[in-house]
Structure 1
Amino acid sequence: MAEISDAPAVTSGELAAVLRAMDEKYRALFDAISKQASSSKSEAEIKEEIHPLQMPHVKLEGPENYVSWAEHAETILVSRKLEGYILGTVEKPEEEGSKEGQKWRATNALVRAWLLSSMSSQIAKQVERIKDASEIWRLLKGTYSGVGNEMLACKIQNELQELSQGERTVVEYVSELKRLWSDLDYYDPVEMECGKCIEKHSKWTERRRVRDFLNGLHPRFENRRAALYGSGKLPSLEQAISAIASEETRLRLEAAGSASQGVTQRRSAFLAAGGGRYQRTGAGNGERKCFECGSPEHLVAGCPKLMGGGRGRGQD
Protein backbone atom coordinates (compact mmCIF):
# COMPACT_ATOMS: atom_id res chain seq x y z
CA MET A 1 0.00 0.00 0.00
CA ALA A 2 1.12 3.53 -0.72
CA GLU A 3 2.28 5.48 2.23
CA ILE A 4 0.13 8.45 3.34
CA SER A 5 1.93 11.77 2.80
CA ASP A 6 2.71 13.80 5.88
CA ALA A 7 2.55 17.14 3.87
CA PRO A 8 0.22 19.67 5.50
CA ALA A 9 -3.16 20.04 3.76
CA VAL A 10 -4.10 23.39 2.10
CA THR A 11 -7.04 24.96 3.78
CA SER A 12 -9.96 26.58 1.89
CA GLY A 13 -8.97 29.98 3.24
CA GLU A 14 -5.47 29.70 1.87
CA LEU A 15 -6.78 28.59 -1.54
CA ALA A 16 -9.18 31.55 -1.71
CA ALA A 17 -6.30 33.90 -0.88
CA VAL A 18 -4.23 32.48 -3.75
CA LEU A 19 -7.12 32.89 -6.21
CA ARG A 20 -7.69 36.48 -5.15
CA ALA A 21 -4.04 37.25 -5.69
CA MET A 22 -4.13 35.75 -9.19
CA ASP A 23 -7.30 37.69 -9.99
CA GLU A 24 -5.69 40.97 -8.97
CA LYS A 25 -2.56 40.18 -10.97
CA TYR A 26 -4.32 39.31 -14.26
CA ARG A 27 -7.38 41.57 -14.04
CA ALA A 28 -5.75 44.33 -16.09
CA LEU A 29 -4.87 41.82 -18.81
CA PHE A 30 -8.46 40.47 -18.91
CA ASP A 31 -9.88 44.00 -19.10
CA ALA A 32 -7.60 44.90 -22.01
CA ILE A 33 -8.60 41.76 -23.94
CA SER A 34 -12.30 42.40 -23.33
CA LYS A 35 -11.99 46.04 -24.42
CA GLN A 36 -10.17 45.10 -27.61
CA ALA A 37 -12.82 42.50 -28.52
CA SER A 38 -15.61 45.04 -27.95
CA SER A 39 -13.84 47.63 -30.09
CA SER A 40 -13.31 45.12 -32.92
CA LYS A 41 -16.98 44.14 -32.80
CA SER A 42 -18.08 47.78 -32.96
CA GLU A 43 -15.84 48.47 -35.96
CA ALA A 44 -17.20 45.37 -37.71
CA GLU A 45 -20.77 46.53 -37.11
CA ILE A 46 -19.98 49.97 -38.53
CA LYS A 47 -18.35 48.47 -41.63
CA GLU A 48 -21.33 46.20 -42.16
CA GLU A 49 -23.83 49.03 -41.73
CA ILE A 50 -22.17 51.48 -44.10
CA HIS A 51 -21.87 48.93 -46.90
CA PRO A 52 -22.00 50.63 -50.33
CA LEU A 53 -25.59 51.24 -51.44
CA GLN A 54 -26.90 50.66 -54.92
CA MET A 55 -28.73 53.51 -56.60
CA PRO A 56 -32.52 53.30 -57.08
CA HIS A 57 -33.76 52.64 -60.61
CA VAL A 58 -35.91 55.79 -60.39
CA LYS A 59 -34.41 59.25 -59.89
CA LEU A 60 -36.54 61.84 -58.11
CA GLU A 61 -37.66 64.46 -60.63
CA GLY A 62 -40.75 65.88 -58.92
CA PRO A 63 -44.27 65.01 -57.71
CA GLU A 64 -44.96 62.79 -60.74
CA ASN A 65 -42.46 60.11 -59.76
CA TYR A 66 -42.04 60.70 -56.02
CA VAL A 67 -44.06 57.61 -55.07
CA SER A 68 -41.94 55.28 -57.19
CA TRP A 69 -38.68 56.91 -56.05
CA ALA A 70 -39.59 56.76 -52.36
CA GLU A 71 -40.58 53.09 -52.63
CA HIS A 72 -37.28 52.14 -54.29
CA ALA A 73 -35.21 54.26 -51.90
CA GLU A 74 -36.81 52.93 -48.73
CA THR A 75 -36.55 49.33 -49.93
CA ILE A 76 -32.80 49.68 -50.51
CA LEU A 77 -32.25 51.31 -47.13
CA VAL A 78 -34.32 48.65 -45.34
CA SER A 79 -32.20 45.95 -46.97
CA ARG A 80 -29.14 47.55 -45.29
CA LYS A 81 -30.93 48.24 -41.98
CA LEU A 82 -30.48 51.98 -42.50
CA GLU A 83 -34.12 53.07 -42.71
CA GLY A 84 -33.91 54.48 -39.16
CA TYR A 85 -31.67 57.29 -40.42
CA ILE A 86 -34.41 58.64 -42.73
CA LEU A 87 -37.39 57.82 -40.51
CA GLY A 88 -35.75 59.46 -37.47
CA THR A 89 -35.88 56.37 -35.27
CA VAL A 90 -32.07 56.38 -34.89
CA GLU A 91 -31.49 59.45 -32.76
CA LYS A 92 -28.30 61.47 -32.79
CA PRO A 93 -26.19 60.80 -29.65
CA GLU A 94 -25.62 63.76 -27.37
CA GLU A 95 -21.87 63.19 -27.19
CA GLU A 96 -20.57 63.53 -30.73
CA GLY A 97 -17.06 62.47 -29.74
CA SER A 98 -18.16 59.11 -28.37
CA LYS A 99 -18.02 55.94 -30.41
CA GLU A 100 -21.80 56.00 -30.82
CA GLY A 101 -21.62 59.62 -31.96
CA GLN A 102 -18.89 58.91 -34.51
CA LYS A 103 -20.81 55.92 -35.81
CA TRP A 104 -23.98 57.99 -36.21
CA ARG A 105 -22.15 60.79 -38.01
CA ALA A 106 -20.48 58.42 -40.47
CA THR A 107 -23.67 56.52 -41.28
CA ASN A 108 -25.80 59.67 -41.49
CA ALA A 109 -23.29 61.21 -43.92
CA LEU A 110 -23.43 58.07 -46.07
CA VAL A 111 -27.25 58.05 -46.22
CA ARG A 112 -27.35 61.82 -46.85
CA ALA A 113 -24.89 61.59 -49.76
CA TRP A 114 -26.82 58.67 -51.19
CA LEU A 115 -30.11 60.59 -51.02
CA LEU A 116 -28.61 63.62 -52.77
CA SER A 117 -27.23 61.48 -55.59
CA SER A 118 -30.61 59.78 -56.12
CA MET A 119 -32.44 62.97 -57.14
CA SER A 120 -32.16 65.47 -59.94
CA SER A 121 -29.68 68.31 -59.58
CA GLN A 122 -32.47 70.89 -59.28
CA ILE A 123 -34.05 69.11 -56.31
CA ALA A 124 -30.67 68.31 -54.73
CA LYS A 125 -29.84 72.02 -54.63
CA GLN A 126 -32.91 72.61 -52.45
CA VAL A 127 -31.78 70.25 -49.68
CA GLU A 128 -27.99 70.06 -49.99
CA ARG A 129 -27.49 72.41 -47.00
CA ILE A 130 -29.43 70.12 -44.65
CA LYS A 131 -27.12 67.89 -42.60
CA ASP A 132 -29.55 65.31 -41.19
CA ALA A 133 -30.76 62.61 -43.59
CA SER A 134 -34.08 62.34 -41.73
CA GLU A 135 -34.74 66.06 -42.22
CA ILE A 136 -34.05 65.75 -45.96
CA TRP A 137 -36.47 62.83 -46.19
CA ARG A 138 -39.16 64.70 -44.24
CA LEU A 139 -38.84 67.82 -46.39
CA LEU A 140 -38.99 65.89 -49.67
CA LYS A 141 -42.04 63.98 -48.51
CA GLY A 142 -43.85 67.17 -47.48
CA THR A 143 -42.99 68.90 -50.75
CA TYR A 144 -43.37 66.20 -53.40
CA SER A 145 -45.46 63.36 -51.97
CA GLY A 146 -48.63 64.96 -53.35
CA VAL A 147 -51.05 63.04 -51.11
CA GLY A 148 -54.50 64.49 -51.78
CA ASN A 149 -53.24 66.33 -54.89
CA GLU A 150 -56.43 66.62 -56.96
CA MET A 151 -54.62 67.63 -60.15
CA LEU A 152 -52.42 64.54 -60.11
CA ALA A 153 -55.38 62.30 -59.26
CA CYS A 154 -57.35 63.76 -62.17
CA LYS A 155 -54.40 63.31 -64.54
CA ILE A 156 -54.00 59.64 -63.58
CA GLN A 157 -57.75 59.03 -63.91
CA ASN A 158 -57.69 60.41 -67.46
CA GLU A 159 -54.72 58.21 -68.34
CA LEU A 160 -56.61 55.16 -67.09
CA GLN A 161 -59.66 56.00 -69.17
CA GLU A 162 -57.61 56.46 -72.33
CA LEU A 163 -55.31 53.47 -71.83
CA SER A 164 -55.69 50.47 -74.15
CA GLN A 165 -53.44 47.55 -74.96
CA GLY A 166 -52.65 48.50 -78.53
CA GLU A 167 -49.54 46.65 -79.69
CA ARG A 168 -48.32 45.99 -76.15
CA THR A 169 -47.98 42.46 -74.86
CA VAL A 170 -50.32 41.40 -72.07
CA VAL A 171 -47.49 41.72 -69.53
CA GLU A 172 -46.64 45.26 -70.65
CA TYR A 173 -50.32 46.27 -70.65
CA VAL A 174 -50.92 44.88 -67.14
CA SER A 175 -47.74 46.55 -65.83
CA GLU A 176 -48.91 49.97 -67.00
CA LEU A 177 -52.40 49.42 -65.58
CA LYS A 178 -51.08 48.42 -62.16
CA ARG A 179 -48.73 51.40 -62.05
CA LEU A 180 -51.61 53.80 -62.67
CA TRP A 181 -53.87 52.03 -60.16
CA SER A 182 -51.17 52.19 -57.50
CA ASP A 183 -50.54 55.90 -58.11
CA LEU A 184 -54.28 56.65 -57.99
CA ASP A 185 -54.64 54.80 -54.67
CA TYR A 186 -51.77 56.88 -53.29
CA TYR A 187 -52.90 60.30 -54.50
CA ASP A 188 -56.61 59.70 -53.88
CA PRO A 189 -56.82 57.40 -50.83
CA VAL A 190 -60.11 56.13 -49.41
CA GLU A 191 -60.28 56.30 -45.62
CA MET A 192 -62.56 53.77 -43.93
CA GLU A 193 -62.71 52.46 -40.39
CA CYS A 194 -65.36 49.73 -40.65
CA GLY A 195 -63.85 46.36 -41.56
CA LYS A 196 -66.89 45.27 -43.58
CA CYS A 197 -66.91 48.54 -45.49
CA ILE A 198 -63.25 48.12 -46.36
CA GLU A 199 -63.88 44.57 -47.58
CA LYS A 200 -66.86 45.61 -49.72
CA HIS A 201 -64.94 48.54 -51.20
CA SER A 202 -61.99 46.26 -52.06
CA LYS A 203 -64.29 43.83 -53.90
CA TRP A 204 -65.99 46.69 -55.76
CA THR A 205 -62.62 48.14 -56.75
CA GLU A 206 -61.38 44.79 -58.06
CA ARG A 207 -64.51 44.25 -60.20
CA ARG A 208 -64.05 47.69 -61.69
CA ARG A 209 -60.40 47.01 -62.47
CA VAL A 210 -61.25 43.67 -64.09
CA ARG A 211 -63.63 45.51 -66.44
CA ASP A 212 -60.99 48.18 -67.16
CA PHE A 213 -58.51 45.44 -68.02
CA LEU A 214 -60.88 43.49 -70.28
CA ASN A 215 -62.30 46.54 -72.05
CA GLY A 216 -58.86 47.82 -73.03
CA LEU A 217 -57.70 44.57 -74.63
CA HIS A 218 -56.78 44.23 -78.31
CA PRO A 219 -59.66 43.07 -80.59
CA ARG A 220 -57.88 39.75 -81.19
CA PHE A 221 -58.96 38.75 -77.66
CA GLU A 222 -62.64 39.45 -78.35
CA ASN A 223 -63.72 35.79 -78.19
CA ARG A 224 -61.95 35.17 -74.91
CA ARG A 225 -63.23 38.43 -73.43
CA ALA A 226 -66.82 37.58 -74.40
CA ALA A 227 -66.44 34.15 -72.77
CA LEU A 228 -65.26 35.74 -69.51
CA TYR A 229 -68.11 38.22 -69.47
CA GLY A 230 -70.62 35.50 -70.34
CA SER A 231 -69.50 33.05 -67.66
CA GLY A 232 -72.09 34.43 -65.25
CA LYS A 233 -69.57 35.56 -62.65
CA LEU A 234 -66.81 38.04 -63.25
CA PRO A 235 -63.41 36.45 -62.49
CA SER A 236 -60.86 37.95 -60.15
CA LEU A 237 -58.17 40.19 -61.61
CA GLU A 238 -55.53 37.47 -61.35
CA GLN A 239 -57.81 34.93 -63.06
CA ALA A 240 -58.65 37.35 -65.87
CA ILE A 241 -54.97 38.18 -66.49
CA SER A 242 -54.04 34.48 -66.47
CA ALA A 243 -56.81 33.63 -68.97
CA ILE A 244 -55.82 36.37 -71.41
CA ALA A 245 -52.11 35.52 -71.09
CA SER A 246 -52.91 31.89 -71.95
CA GLU A 247 -54.96 33.05 -74.94
CA GLU A 248 -52.05 35.21 -76.10
CA THR A 249 -49.75 32.19 -76.01
CA ARG A 250 -52.27 30.08 -77.96
CA LEU A 251 -52.70 32.75 -80.65
CA ARG A 252 -48.93 33.14 -80.98
CA LEU A 253 -48.39 29.40 -81.44
CA GLU A 254 -51.30 29.22 -83.88
CA ALA A 255 -49.85 32.05 -85.95
CA ALA A 256 -46.42 30.41 -85.99
CA GLY A 257 -47.96 27.09 -87.10
CA SER A 258 -49.97 28.77 -89.86
CA ALA A 259 -46.89 30.57 -91.15
CA SER A 260 -44.89 27.34 -91.23
CA GLN A 261 -47.71 25.50 -93.03
CA GLY A 262 -47.99 28.30 -95.60
CA VAL A 263 -44.28 28.07 -96.40
CA THR A 264 -44.56 24.29 -96.87
CA GLN A 265 -47.56 24.64 -99.19
CA ARG A 266 -45.87 27.28 -101.34
CA ARG A 267 -42.75 25.12 -101.62
CA SER A 268 -44.80 22.09 -102.68
CA ALA A 269 -46.72 24.13 -105.26
CA PHE A 270 -43.47 25.48 -106.69
CA LEU A 271 -41.97 22.01 -107.06
CA ALA A 272 -45.16 20.64 -108.61
CA ALA A 273 -45.35 23.46 -111.16
CA GLY A 274 -41.70 23.12 -112.23
CA GLY A 275 -41.37 19.33 -112.07
CA GLY A 276 -42.08 18.76 -115.77
CA ARG A 277 -39.58 21.25 -117.04
CA TYR A 278 -36.57 20.77 -114.80
CA GLN A 279 -34.54 17.76 -113.79
CA ARG A 280 -33.55 17.47 -110.10
CA THR A 281 -29.85 17.71 -109.52
CA GLY A 282 -28.08 16.56 -106.42
CA ALA A 283 -25.02 14.95 -105.03
CA GLY A 284 -26.50 11.48 -105.53
CA ASN A 285 -28.05 11.83 -109.00
CA GLY A 286 -25.69 14.27 -110.70
CA GLU A 287 -26.70 16.50 -113.67
CA ARG A 288 -28.21 14.59 -116.59
CA LYS A 289 -26.54 15.37 -119.92
CA CYS A 290 -25.45 13.74 -123.15
CA PHE A 291 -22.29 11.67 -122.87
CA GLU A 292 -21.46 12.32 -126.55
CA CYS A 293 -21.69 16.07 -126.90
CA GLY A 294 -22.13 17.15 -123.26
CA SER A 295 -25.42 19.01 -123.84
CA PRO A 296 -27.86 19.00 -120.88
CA GLU A 297 -30.82 19.27 -123.30
CA HIS A 298 -30.91 15.61 -124.30
CA LEU A 299 -29.44 12.20 -123.57
CA VAL A 300 -27.07 10.18 -125.68
CA ALA A 301 -29.91 8.17 -127.22
CA GLY A 302 -31.30 11.32 -128.86
CA CYS A 303 -28.07 13.10 -129.66
CA PRO A 304 -28.27 14.79 -133.14
CA LYS A 305 -24.55 14.27 -133.57
CA LEU A 306 -24.94 10.50 -133.53
CA MET A 307 -28.04 10.75 -135.67
CA GLY A 308 -26.24 12.57 -138.46
CA GLY A 309 -27.39 16.15 -137.86
CA GLY A 310 -31.06 15.33 -138.07
CA ARG A 311 -31.00 12.47 -140.61
CA GLY A 312 -32.26 9.02 -139.86
CA ARG A 313 -30.63 6.76 -137.28
CA GLY A 314 -27.56 4.98 -138.70
CA GLN A 315 -27.05 7.32 -141.70
CA ASP A 316 -23.69 9.03 -142.27
Structure 2
Amino acid sequence: MMFISGKGKDDYLTGAAAPPPKGDPKFKSWRAENNMVMSWLINNMDTEIGQHFLFYGSAKEIWDAAKETYSDSENTAEFFEIKCVLHDIRQGDLTVTQYYNTLSRYWQQLDIFEESDWECPRDHLKYRKIMEKERIVKFLVGLNKNLDEVRGRIFGTKPLPSLREAFSEVRCEESRKKVMMGGQGAPTIPESSTLMSRRTTFTNDKQRKGRPWCDHCRKPGHTNPMRELLIFMTLVKRRP
Protein backbone atom coordinates (compact mmCIF):
# COMPACT_ATOMS: atom_id res chain seq x y z
CA MET A 1 0.00 0.00 0.00
CA MET A 2 2.81 2.46 0.87
CA PHE A 3 4.58 1.78 -2.44
CA ILE A 4 1.39 2.18 -4.48
CA SER A 5 0.44 5.34 -2.61
CA GLY A 6 3.94 6.71 -3.20
CA LYS A 7 3.43 6.16 -6.91
CA GLY A 8 0.17 8.12 -6.73
CA LYS A 9 -1.93 5.10 -7.75
CA ASP A 10 -3.83 4.41 -4.53
CA ASP A 11 -7.06 5.64 -6.20
CA TYR A 12 -7.07 2.31 -8.05
CA LEU A 13 -7.34 0.52 -4.68
CA THR A 14 -10.06 2.70 -3.20
CA GLY A 15 -12.16 2.83 -6.36
CA ALA A 16 -11.76 6.59 -6.77
CA ALA A 17 -10.18 5.87 -10.18
CA ALA A 18 -13.29 4.27 -11.62
CA PRO A 19 -13.06 2.73 -15.09
CA PRO A 20 -14.46 4.92 -17.89
CA PRO A 21 -16.74 3.37 -20.52
CA LYS A 22 -14.91 1.11 -22.95
CA GLY A 23 -15.55 3.48 -25.84
CA ASP A 24 -14.01 6.38 -23.93
CA PRO A 25 -10.50 7.44 -25.16
CA LYS A 26 -9.33 7.39 -21.51
CA PHE A 27 -10.23 3.72 -21.06
CA LYS A 28 -6.99 2.46 -22.61
CA SER A 29 -4.90 4.58 -20.25
CA TRP A 30 -6.98 3.46 -17.23
CA ARG A 31 -6.63 -0.21 -18.18
CA ALA A 32 -2.85 0.10 -18.52
CA GLU A 33 -2.47 1.72 -15.09
CA ASN A 34 -4.97 -0.65 -13.50
CA ASN A 35 -3.06 -3.67 -14.83
CA MET A 36 0.18 -2.17 -13.54
CA VAL A 37 -1.26 -1.81 -10.01
CA MET A 38 -2.67 -5.35 -10.22
CA SER A 39 0.80 -6.69 -11.08
CA TRP A 40 2.32 -4.81 -8.13
CA LEU A 41 -0.21 -6.38 -5.77
CA ILE A 42 0.18 -9.93 -7.11
CA ASN A 43 3.98 -9.79 -7.29
CA ASN A 44 4.13 -8.87 -3.60
CA MET A 45 2.07 -11.90 -2.56
CA ASP A 46 3.19 -15.46 -1.95
CA THR A 47 2.98 -17.45 -5.18
CA GLU A 48 0.16 -19.68 -3.94
CA ILE A 49 -1.90 -16.71 -2.81
CA GLY A 50 -1.15 -14.57 -5.87
CA GLN A 51 -2.33 -17.24 -8.30
CA HIS A 52 -5.81 -16.95 -6.81
CA PHE A 53 -6.05 -13.28 -7.92
CA LEU A 54 -4.71 -13.58 -11.48
CA PHE A 55 -8.13 -13.43 -13.13
CA TYR A 56 -9.64 -10.58 -11.14
CA GLY A 57 -10.82 -7.64 -13.24
CA SER A 58 -9.43 -4.68 -11.31
CA ALA A 59 -6.93 -3.69 -8.64
CA LYS A 60 -9.80 -2.69 -6.34
CA GLU A 61 -11.31 -6.17 -6.56
CA ILE A 62 -7.96 -7.74 -5.64
CA TRP A 63 -7.43 -5.28 -2.80
CA ASP A 64 -10.91 -5.76 -1.29
CA ALA A 65 -10.76 -9.56 -1.55
CA ALA A 66 -7.25 -9.78 -0.07
CA LYS A 67 -8.16 -7.42 2.77
CA GLU A 68 -11.29 -9.39 3.60
CA THR A 69 -9.54 -12.76 3.40
CA TYR A 70 -6.15 -12.13 4.99
CA SER A 71 -6.57 -9.04 7.16
CA ASP A 72 -5.56 -9.49 10.81
CA SER A 73 -7.68 -6.61 12.09
CA GLU A 74 -10.19 -9.09 13.54
CA ASN A 75 -7.61 -11.61 14.72
CA THR A 76 -8.34 -11.68 18.46
CA ALA A 77 -5.55 -14.15 19.21
CA GLU A 78 -2.88 -11.90 17.68
CA PHE A 79 -4.34 -8.86 19.43
CA PHE A 80 -4.10 -10.71 22.76
CA GLU A 81 -0.52 -11.77 22.03
CA ILE A 82 0.57 -8.20 21.31
CA LYS A 83 -1.05 -7.01 24.53
CA CYS A 84 0.80 -9.69 26.52
CA VAL A 85 4.16 -8.79 24.96
CA LEU A 86 3.66 -5.10 25.69
CA HIS A 87 2.71 -5.90 29.29
CA ASP A 88 5.86 -7.96 29.92
CA ILE A 89 8.52 -6.14 27.91
CA ARG A 90 11.33 -4.37 29.80
CA GLN A 91 14.57 -2.73 28.69
CA GLY A 92 16.87 -5.41 30.12
CA ASP A 93 19.96 -5.82 27.93
CA LEU A 94 18.60 -3.54 25.20
CA THR A 95 19.83 -0.02 24.63
CA VAL A 96 17.27 2.73 25.12
CA THR A 97 16.93 3.09 21.35
CA GLN A 98 16.38 -0.65 20.82
CA TYR A 99 13.86 -0.76 23.67
CA TYR A 100 11.93 2.24 22.32
CA ASN A 101 11.90 0.90 18.74
CA THR A 102 10.62 -2.49 19.94
CA LEU A 103 7.78 -0.83 21.82
CA SER A 104 6.97 1.36 18.81
CA ARG A 105 6.67 -1.64 16.49
CA TYR A 106 4.16 -3.35 18.79
CA TRP A 107 2.23 -0.11 19.29
CA GLN A 108 1.95 0.32 15.52
CA GLN A 109 0.54 -3.21 15.23
CA LEU A 110 -1.86 -2.46 18.05
CA ASP A 111 -3.09 0.67 16.27
CA ILE A 112 -4.18 -1.49 13.33
CA PHE A 113 -6.45 -3.54 15.58
CA GLU A 114 -7.84 -0.48 17.36
CA GLU A 115 -8.48 1.53 14.20
CA SER A 116 -12.06 2.76 14.10
CA ASP A 117 -14.19 5.54 12.64
CA TRP A 118 -14.77 8.36 15.12
CA GLU A 119 -17.88 10.47 14.72
CA CYS A 120 -16.31 13.33 16.66
CA PRO A 121 -12.74 14.31 15.71
CA ARG A 122 -12.23 16.03 19.07
CA ASP A 123 -13.04 12.83 20.96
CA HIS A 124 -10.57 10.97 18.77
CA LEU A 125 -7.90 13.56 19.57
CA LYS A 126 -8.59 13.21 23.30
CA TYR A 127 -8.34 9.43 23.00
CA ARG A 128 -4.98 9.69 21.23
CA LYS A 129 -3.67 11.93 24.02
CA ILE A 130 -4.77 9.41 26.65
CA MET A 131 -3.05 6.61 24.71
CA GLU A 132 0.13 8.67 24.36
CA LYS A 133 0.22 9.27 28.12
CA GLU A 134 -0.16 5.54 28.78
CA ARG A 135 2.67 4.77 26.38
CA ILE A 136 4.96 7.32 28.00
CA VAL A 137 4.33 5.67 31.38
CA LYS A 138 4.95 2.21 29.89
CA PHE A 139 8.22 3.36 28.30
CA LEU A 140 9.50 4.95 31.50
CA VAL A 141 8.42 2.14 33.84
CA GLY A 142 10.28 -0.44 31.72
CA LEU A 143 13.61 1.38 31.87
CA ASN A 144 16.52 -0.05 33.88
CA LYS A 145 17.22 1.21 37.38
CA ASN A 146 20.36 3.07 36.34
CA LEU A 147 18.02 5.55 34.60
CA ASP A 148 15.92 6.24 37.71
CA GLU A 149 17.09 9.85 37.88
CA VAL A 150 15.94 10.86 34.39
CA ARG A 151 12.76 8.80 34.83
CA GLY A 152 11.86 10.72 37.98
CA ARG A 153 12.69 14.01 36.30
CA ILE A 154 10.31 13.29 33.42
CA PHE A 155 7.54 12.08 35.73
CA GLY A 156 7.91 15.35 37.64
CA THR A 157 7.37 17.45 34.50
CA LYS A 158 3.93 19.09 34.30
CA PRO A 159 2.50 18.49 31.79
CA LEU A 160 4.28 15.35 30.65
CA PRO A 161 6.40 15.75 27.51
CA SER A 162 5.47 13.88 24.34
CA LEU A 163 6.62 10.29 23.92
CA ARG A 164 9.32 11.32 21.45
CA GLU A 165 10.58 14.07 23.75
CA ALA A 166 10.72 11.62 26.67
CA PHE A 167 12.66 9.13 24.56
CA SER A 168 15.09 11.83 23.41
CA GLU A 169 15.79 12.93 26.99
CA VAL A 170 16.35 9.36 28.22
CA ARG A 171 18.61 8.57 25.26
CA CYS A 172 20.73 11.66 25.99
CA GLU A 173 21.04 10.58 29.63
CA GLU A 174 22.11 7.11 28.56
CA SER A 175 24.80 8.60 26.28
CA ARG A 176 26.02 10.88 29.08
CA LYS A 177 26.34 7.95 31.48
CA LYS A 178 28.30 5.94 28.92
CA VAL A 179 30.76 8.80 28.43
CA MET A 180 31.22 9.21 32.19
CA MET A 181 31.73 5.50 32.78
CA GLY A 182 34.14 5.27 29.88
CA GLY A 183 36.34 7.98 31.36
CA GLN A 184 36.87 6.32 34.74
CA GLY A 185 40.26 4.85 35.50
CA ALA A 186 43.39 4.73 33.40
CA PRO A 187 43.96 1.98 30.88
CA THR A 188 45.75 -0.94 32.48
CA ILE A 189 49.10 -2.07 31.09
CA PRO A 190 49.46 -5.83 30.66
CA GLU A 191 51.78 -7.40 33.21
CA SER A 192 53.95 -8.89 30.46
CA SER A 193 54.57 -5.40 29.01
CA THR A 194 55.52 -4.09 32.45
CA LEU A 195 57.97 -6.94 33.00
CA MET A 196 59.51 -6.40 29.57
CA SER A 197 59.97 -2.70 30.33
CA ARG A 198 61.65 -3.51 33.64
CA ARG A 199 63.98 -6.03 31.98
CA THR A 200 65.02 -3.49 29.34
CA THR A 201 65.69 -0.84 31.98
CA PHE A 202 67.74 -3.29 34.05
CA THR A 203 69.84 -4.28 30.99
CA ASN A 204 70.49 -0.68 30.01
CA ASP A 205 71.47 0.27 33.55
CA LYS A 206 73.87 -2.63 33.61
CA GLN A 207 75.46 -1.57 30.34
CA ARG A 208 75.71 2.08 31.35
CA LYS A 209 77.30 1.43 34.72
CA GLY A 210 80.51 3.44 35.01
CA ARG A 211 80.46 4.72 31.41
CA PRO A 212 78.24 7.12 29.43
CA TRP A 213 75.77 5.45 27.11
CA CYS A 214 74.26 6.78 23.88
CA ASP A 215 70.64 5.70 23.34
CA HIS A 216 70.86 6.72 19.68
CA CYS A 217 74.01 4.79 18.71
CA ARG A 218 73.46 2.06 21.29
CA LYS A 219 77.17 2.29 22.21
CA PRO A 220 79.08 3.32 25.35
CA GLY A 221 81.48 6.23 25.45
CA HIS A 222 79.19 9.25 24.94
CA THR A 223 75.63 10.39 25.54
CA ASN A 224 72.79 11.20 23.19
CA PRO A 225 72.53 15.02 22.99
CA MET A 226 68.98 14.90 21.60
CA ARG A 227 67.81 12.82 24.55
CA GLU A 228 69.44 15.23 27.00
CA LEU A 229 67.73 18.15 25.26
CA LEU A 230 64.33 16.44 25.51
CA ILE A 231 64.89 15.76 29.22
CA PHE A 232 65.85 19.39 29.78
CA MET A 233 62.74 20.67 27.97
CA THR A 234 60.56 18.36 30.05
CA LEU A 235 62.04 19.62 33.29
CA VAL A 236 61.57 23.25 32.24
CA LYS A 237 57.89 22.63 31.48
CA ARG A 238 57.36 21.08 34.92
CA ARG A 239 58.72 24.13 36.76
CA PRO A 240 56.01 26.28 38.35
Give the aligned residue type for 2:202.
R
- Describe the superposition over 1:27-81 as per-residue Cα deviations: whole angstroms up to 9, x where unpaired: xxxxxxxxxxxxxxxxxxxxxxxxxxxxxxxxxxxxxxxxxxxxxx2x3223322
- Look up the match of 2:209: none
Deviations 1:214-263 (A, max 9, x none): 122233323322333345654331221011110121122223323xx421
Partner of 1:103: 29
Contact kept? 1:92, 1:104, Cα under 8 Å: yes
Counterpart residue number, 2:142: 216
- Could you tell me which of 130, 137, 151 is aligned with 2:77? 151
Residues 167 and 99 (structure 1), Cα distance of their counterparts in 2 relative to 1, 3 Å cut: farther
1:80–1:190 distance in 2 versus 1, CA, 3 Å: closer
TM-score by length of 2: 0.73
Counterpart amino acid of residue 153 in structure 1: F
Counterpart of 1:262, as a letter, is A
Pick the aligned partner of 2:11 from 65, 77, 84: 84
Match for residue 48 of structure 2 among 98, 113, 122: 122
The whole-number CA distance in structure 1 between the counterparts of 2:36 and 2:63 is 14
Paired with 1:94 and 1:194, the residues of 2 have a C-alpha distance of: 39
Relative to structure 1, the CA distance from residue 133 to residue 198 in structure 2 (aligned partners, 3 Å threshold; closer, same or farther) is: closer
Gaps of 5+ in 2: 206-213, 222-240
Q: CA deviation at 1:204?
A: 2.2
Match of 2:162 in 1: 236
Q: Aligned to 1:182, what secondary structure does the other structure show?
A: helix
Cα distance per residue 1:178-216 (max 9 Å; x no partner): 221122122124665455543443332222111110122
SS at match of 2:183: helix
1:141 maps onto 2:71 in alignment: no
Q: Matches of 2:25 and 2:117 in 1, distance apart?
A: 45
* 2:108 maps to amino acid: S
Letter of the 2:111 partner, please give it: D
Partners of 1:207 and 1:82 in 2: how far apart?
36
Instruction: Say yes or no: does 1:187 pair with 2:117.
Output: no
Q: Following TM superposition, where does structure 1 have runs of at least 4 consecutive aligned residues deviating by more than 6 angstroms?
A: none
In structure 2, what is the equivalent of residue 94 of structure 1? 21
Distance 1:169 1:180 in 2: 17
Which of 156, 167, 174 is matched with 1:248 structurally? 174
Q: Equivalents in 2 of 1:135, 1:108: separation in Å?
A: 11
Distance (whole Å) between structure 1 residues aligned to residue 55 and residue 186 of structure 2: 69
Task: Report how far residue 140 of structure 1 moved.
Answer: 1.2
**Alignment partner of 1:175: what SS?**
helix
Give 3-state SS (helix, strand or coil) of 2:202's partner. Answer: coil
Match of 2:127?
Answer: 201
Q: Distance in 2 between matches of 1:108 and 1:190?
A: 29
- 1:131 matched to 2:131? The reply is no
CA distance in 1, matches of 2:34, 2:118: 37
Identify the residue that residue 32 of structure 1 maps to in structure 2: none
User: Which among 83, 107, 113 is matched to residue 39 of structure 2?
Assistant: 113
Report the secondary structure of 1:178's partner residue: helix
The number of aligned residues is 211
Structure 1: runs of 5+ lacking an equivalent: 1-72, 292-316
Amino acid at match of 2:112: Y
Q: Distance in 2 between matches of 1:194 and 1:218?
A: 39
Which whole-Å CA distance do the structure 2 matches of 1:198 and 1:79 have between them?
A: 27
Rounded to whole Å, the distance in 2 between the matches of 1:81 and 1:228 is 42
Q: CA deviation at 1:290?
A: 5.6
Task: Name the amino acid aligned to 2:18.
Answer: E
In structure 1, give the amino acid aligned to 2:114: D
In the superposition, relative to structure 1, how do residues 189 and 104 fare at CA in structure 2: closer, same or farther (>3 Å)? closer
Secondary structure of the structure 2 residue equivalent to 1:157? helix
- Note if contact 1:147-1:187 (Cα within 8 Å) is conserved in structure 2: yes
% identity of equivalent residues: 28
Distance 1:154 1:188 in 2: 12
Aligned partners of 1:196 and 1:100: how far apart in 2? 42
What TM-score does the superposition give when structure 1 sets the normalisation length? Answer: 0.57
Specify the alignment match of 1:286 in structure 2: 216
